[in-house]
Amino acid sequence: MRTLPAAVVVLLALSNAVELFGAESGGECEKKIPIDSRPHSVSIVEFGAVGDGKTLNTLAFQNAIFYLKSFADKGGAQLYVPQGRWLTGSFNLTSHLTLFLEKGAVIIASQDPSDWDIVDPLPSYGRGVDVPGKRYRSLINGYMLHDVVITGDNGTVDGQGSAWWDLYASGSLNYSRPHLVEFISCNYTVVSNITFLNSPSYSIHPVYSSNVLVRNLSIYAPPESRYTVGIVPDSSDAVCIEDCSIGVGFDAISLKSGWDEYGISYGRSTTNVHVRRVGLQATFGSCLAFGSEMSGGISDVLVEHVHISDSNKGLDFRTARGRGGYITEITASDIHMENVNTAFSATGQCDTHPDDKYDPDALPSVSSITLRNITGTNISFAGNLTGISGAPFTGICLSDISLSIASKYSNSSTFWVCSYVSGISESVFPEPCPELESGLNSYASSTSCFSHRSSTTQPVDDT
């Protein structure tokens, strides 16, 4: 091995220091993922694609990507999609590629299941999430790629999900539904400046990936699309989600890391995630959900400057016996909510399991969750925090929270429901349950409260 000159060693040490400082003050979004312009560009039209909304263009996309593979070592290339309606089945991307959707360009997903390959389930799930067994490959896929960008001048990807929502609702899916974009084991991926509509299931699904940037997206699926989810960082690290507007049927942003024994044995966490400046709406689910599939662990998540509206739940921490794993070192601050049923939820009762082989003694750990500077109007219930007997949720720290409860519910004496949780609260209205005792005590001075990532020590359990 070549020895590094001393000056380089000093520079490396400095850049590590800067990176650490950056992470503490601002999180992953402060790191800049370099976005290079590509020296080569081809249009999908050159591969015979027809933008009439009727012609199936799957082969044109596959052939274009195959051709662009040869540019990987020549600075990469751009695949340009001009104005038009481009119907297609699923296709793969390649490394050092930019997929660019021009203004007025709409990639439309075929509604015919036979245009979608069937693939094995993810190893950390052991089966499809909708139905046991295999799943459909996503519309746009990356597998073991490096440096991929999906962007445009407000072009659109329309999943035409209604056919899939109906199959799901009527219980007639043969395989689990596809997503719009899935990156598996990729490094340096960017999705920005475009609109995603009507996903069959998730819109953006990075799994086993590192260095994921999701910026300036609009993601929309109508309320009746009950189990549609916006962005799902899954067993992935170094993820930034910023400046996005998301409105879906189920969860807007959902952090996951595998399901029960499959997630435990795969053992890859979701960590170092930063979400900021996003507007979220989740009709039947939650705006920011953690789990319930969290068996590989979820840690070091910073959420800030969020606007939440017209949703079932605001922030939601979900797990169950059998999951194992952990949710820890989560900070969410500077959030406004309006027209939300339950502002804060934490539950250890998400008892759906991939099969009956899970270990009921695999208890999850939920700890060190700080929620700060949050306001709400027209909220029905402030919080339902229900941990697990034998595995209580600890270090739940609430401060500077003010929720105005909808008049219909404001005579209720149970704004908060708590069991098997502990933590502290400061300046929280309405007054929280006694489990989150107020005021400064030895607990409050514990470094795990009201600070982000300052300590890895677990809070002292005061029960």
Site string for ligand NAG, 24-63 (x = CB under 6 A): -----------x--------------------------x-
User: Which CB, 203 or 378, lies closer to ligand NAG?
Assistant: 378
Does 281 bind ligand NAG (CB under 6 A)? Our answer is: no
User: Which CB, 56 or 406, lies closer to ligand NAG?
Assistant: 406
Express the helix, strand and coil content of the chain in percent, nearest 5 each: 15, 45, 40
Distance CA 279, CA 250 (A): 15
Stretch that binds ligand NAG, among 13-21, 22-30, 124-132, 211-219 (CB under 6 A): 211-219
Q: Closest approach of Cβ 457 to ligand NAG, in Å?
A: 26
Distance CA 49, CA 214 (A): 28
Q: Which of 334, 353, 391, 438 binds ligand NAG (CB under 6 A)?
A: 334
| Residue 179 burial (CB count, 10 A) | 26
User: Which CB, 406 or 458, lies closer to ligand NAG?
Assistant: 406
Does 210 bind ligand NAG (CB under 6 A)? Our answer is: yes
Q: Which of 151, 199, 228, 283 binds ligand NAG (CB under 6 A)?
A: 151
Does 336 bind ligand NAG (CB under 6 A)? Our answer is: yes
User: What DSSP letter does each residue of 100-138 carry, written as one string?
Assistant: EE-TTEEEEE---GGGS-EEPPPTTTSS-SSSSS-EEPP
Does 153 bind ligand NAG (CB under 6 A)? Our answer is: yes
343 and 381 Cβ atoms separated by less than 8 Å: yes
For residue 76, CA distances in Å to 72, 89, 152, 352, 405 come to: 5, 24, 17, 44, 54
Contacts of 19 (CB under 8 A, 6+ apart): 31
For residue 70, CA distances in Å to 43, 47, 74, 199 come to: 16, 16, 8, 31
133 and 118 Cβ atoms separated by less than 8 Å: no
Q: Which residue is nearest to ligand NAG (CB)?
A: 154
346 and 317 Cβ atoms separated by less than 8 Å: yes
Q: Which of 45, 143, 353, 455 binds ligand NAG (CB under 6 A)?
A: 143
Does 156 bind ligand NAG (CB under 6 A)? Our answer is: yes
Stretch that binds ligand NAG, among 18-26, 270-278, 335-343, 424-432 (CB under 6 A): 335-343
Does 111 bind ligand NAG (CB under 6 A)? Our answer is: no
Q: Which of 216, 451, 455, 458 binds ligand NAG (CB under 6 A)?
A: 216
Does 270 bind ligand NAG (CB under 6 A)? Our answer is: no
Does 451 bind ligand NAG (CB under 6 A)? Our answer is: no
Site string for ligand NAG, 301-320 (x = CB under 6 A): --------------------
Q: Which of 55, 63, 162, 341 binds ligand NAG (CB under 6 A)?
A: 341
Q: Closest approach of Cβ 156 to ligand NAG, in Å?
A: 5
260 and 295 Cβ atoms separated by less than 8 Å: yes
Q: Report the candidate in 400, 397, 404, 381 with the shortest Cα–Cα distance to residue 437.
A: 397
Stretch that binds ligand NAG, among 13-21, 252-260, 334-342, 447-455 (CB under 6 A): 334-342
Q: Which of 55, 386, 451, 455 binds ligand NAG (CB under 6 A)?
A: 386
Q: Following CA atoms 408, 436, 342, 305 in sequence, which dihedral angle do they give, to the nearest 10 degrees?
A: 120
Please provide the distance, in angstroms rounded to a whole number, between the alpha carbons at the two ends of the chain. Answer: 54
366 and 336 Cβ atoms separated by less than 8 Å: no
Peptide bond into 5 cis (omega under 30): no
Does 445 bind ligand NAG (CB under 6 A)? Our answer is: no
Cross-strand bridge partners of residue 421? 393
Site string for ligand NAG, 66-95 (x = CB under 6 A): --------------------------x---
User: Which CB, 328 or 342, lies closer to ligand NAG?
Assistant: 342
Distance CA 441, CA 90 (A): 56
206 and 236 Cβ atoms separated by less than 8 Å: yes
Distance CA 270, CA 272 (A): 7
Q: Which of 167, 180, 288, 343 binds ligand NAG (CB under 6 A)?
A: 167
Site string for ligand NAG, 391-430 (x = CB under 6 A): ---------------x-x--x-----x-------------
| Residue 452 burial (CB count, 10 A) | 20
Does 113 bind ligand NAG (CB under 6 A)? Our answer is: yes
Does 195 bind ligand NAG (CB under 6 A)? Our answer is: yes
Chain contacts with ligand NAG (rule: CB under 6 A): 35, 62, 92, 113, 143, 149, 151, 153-154, 156, 167, 174, 187, 190, 192-195, 210, 215-216, 218, 243, 334-336, 339-341, 347, 349, 373, 378, 380, 384, 386, 406, 408, 411, 417
